[in-house]
């Protein structure tokens, strides 16, 4: 079958609804994409931190405080529910900020990687995520550390579910008949072949739900280094090993969640407290053209890559990305407010976040920060 990518790009006029969706926490769906590099110094130690997170701010009109505290505890060692404050506390614990690497070569150096990606979202039921927390020393005899966690957050009962809660006790009991049966299924569905002599006792530990079934984190020890692969066990097979609680999460009737009433008055601000406008005398333009222009279409068609998994599964639809055009024309604060799948959402955010500078919006001739929505529609023929 010949796959063709169709991108329909519409610039939505801003209204009170656009202001409401940004001001209030309880939204139908909002996942913010944050990345950054940070350098901290503590005595004679340097810390390089790389952050890449897909942060679920609100799902199904829930503010997710329990999930946020779980994530910040696992990532940053504090239970601050706000990502920005939790990150600030974490960076402060590593030392004072630097803007450039010191010339003095006597510093011990550590590299930290904090990565959070969405695996699956099923409206009203759950969101599954993969979390990586890694630190590596440079030029020392110390061994680094890497933790990879798969988990599912139950949106019905507001609780985190790891493999311990998702699987029957017999499927978690090492060396039981059910454990061996599940392990063989995981091995069978791995992207590659198991080498003779590989130890099945340490093969897998983490897992989460997805539409296709269950995905498991598989660790392979190669020359003293641990490599991680993901294995997807199809739902028909995976259900045999699921706990009663996990099967209920997939099957039980969803509770009704009404949209909250909004107060459309007042301005809104981002984390840096700088005002963001929804309308202006001069709206932002991209390379001198409105966002609905052929030039915008040309840029996106040339830069969007249709994810392979979504092509294979024939997944298409419309992603709506919300972002801010800053005073200097750069794009910031990208968030998905209407999702399709993690891969398509991620790709739309990637392309919009890496756009060349816009011409900023202006009020009384002065550049201002502007809130924008850009729908990107994928279509497979």
Q: Given pLDDT bands bounded at 50, 70 and 90, which one contains residue 288?
A: confident
d(CA 216, CA 231): 5
Q: pLDDT tens across 59-69, in order?
A: 999 989 999 99
Provide φ and ψ at 227, rounded to 5°.
-110, 140
Q: Residue 271: helix, strand or coil by DSSP? A: coil
Average pLDDT over residues 350-357: 93
Bridge partners (DSSP) of residue 42 are 45
Residues 298-310, mean pLDDT to the nearest whole number: 87
DSSP H/E element including 108: strand 108-122
Q: What secondary structure letter does DSSP report for 201?
A: G
Q: Are 296 and 340 in contact (CB under 8 A)?
A: no
Q: What is the pLDDT of residue 259?
A: 64
Asked whether residue 16 carries a pLDDT value surpassing 60, the answer given is: no
Q: Give me the mean pLDDT over the 204-233 stretch.
A: 80
Number of H helices, E strands in the chain: 11, 18
In this structure, how many other beta carbons lie within 10 angstroms of the beta carbon of residue 164? 13
What six digits make up the tokens of 180?
């061996």
Q: What is the pLDDT of residue 14?
A: 35
Q: Which residues pair with 110 in a beta bridge?
A: 47, 137
Give the model's pLDDT for residue 8.
46
37: Cβ–Cβ under 8 A, 6 or more apart, which residues? 48, 49, 50, 51
The model's pTM: 0.85
Q: In sequence order, what E strands does 86-212 have?
A: 96-97, 108-122, 126-138, 145-154, 159-161, 204-210
C-alpha span between 81 and 64 (Å, rounded): 9
Q: Which of 26-30, 66-70, 325-329 has the lowest mean pLDDT?
A: 26-30
Give yes or no for residue 160 having a pLDDT over 80: yes
pLDDT at 269 over 50: no
C-alpha to C-alpha distance for 107 and 101, rounded to whole angstroms = 10
What confidence tens digit (pLDDT) does each residue in 70-112 have? 999 999 999 898 999 999 999 999 999 998 988 877 888 999 9
């Amino acid at each position: 079958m010949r796959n063709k990518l169709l991108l329909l790009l519409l610039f939505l006029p801003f209204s009170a609804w656009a202001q409401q969706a940004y001001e209030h926490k309880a939204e139908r769906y909002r996942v913010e994409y944050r990345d950054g590099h940070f350098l901290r110094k503590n005595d004679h130690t340097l810390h390089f931190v790389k952050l890449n997170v897909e942060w679920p701010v609100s799902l199904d009109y829930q503010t997710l405080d329990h999930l946020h505290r779980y994530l910040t505890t696992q990532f940053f060692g504090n239970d601050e529910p706000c990502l920005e404050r939790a990150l600030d506390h974490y960076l402060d614990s590593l030392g004072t900020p630097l803007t450039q690497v010191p010339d003095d070569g006597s510093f011990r150096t550590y590299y930290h990687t904090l990565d959070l990606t969405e695996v699956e979202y099923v409206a009203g039921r759950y969101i599954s995520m993969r979390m990586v927390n890694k630190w590596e020393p440079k030029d020392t005899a110390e061994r680094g550390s890497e933790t990879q966690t798969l988990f599912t957050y139950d949106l019905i009962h507001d609780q985190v579910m790891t493999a311990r809660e998702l699987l029957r006790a017999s499927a978690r009991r090492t060396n039981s008949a059910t454990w061996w049966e599940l392990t063989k299924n995981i091995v069978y569905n791995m992207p590659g072949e198991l080498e003779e002599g590989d130890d099945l006792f340490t093969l897998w530990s983490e897992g989460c739900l997805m539409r296709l079934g269950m995905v498991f984190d598989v660790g392979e020890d190669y020359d003293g280094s641990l490599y991680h692969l993901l294995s997807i066990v199809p739902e028909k097979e995976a259900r045999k090993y699921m706990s009663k609680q996990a099967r209920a999460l997939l099957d039980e009737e969803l509770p009704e969640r009404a949209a909250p009433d909004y107060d459309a008055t007042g301005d809104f601000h981002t984390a840096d407290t700088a005002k963001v406008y929804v309308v202006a005398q001069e709206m932002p333009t991209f390379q001198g053209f409105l966002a609905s222009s052929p030039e915008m279409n040309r840029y996106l068609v040339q830069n969007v890559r249709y994810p392979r998994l979504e092509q294979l599964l024939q997944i298409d639809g419309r992603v709506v990305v919300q972002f801010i055009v800053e005073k200097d024309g750069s794009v910031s604060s990208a968030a998905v407010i209407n999702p399709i799948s993690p891969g398509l959402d991620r790709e739309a955010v990637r392309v919009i976040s890496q756009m060349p500078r816009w011409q900023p919006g202006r009020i009384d001739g002065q550049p201002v920060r502007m809130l924008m929505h850009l729908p990107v529609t994928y279509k497979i023929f």
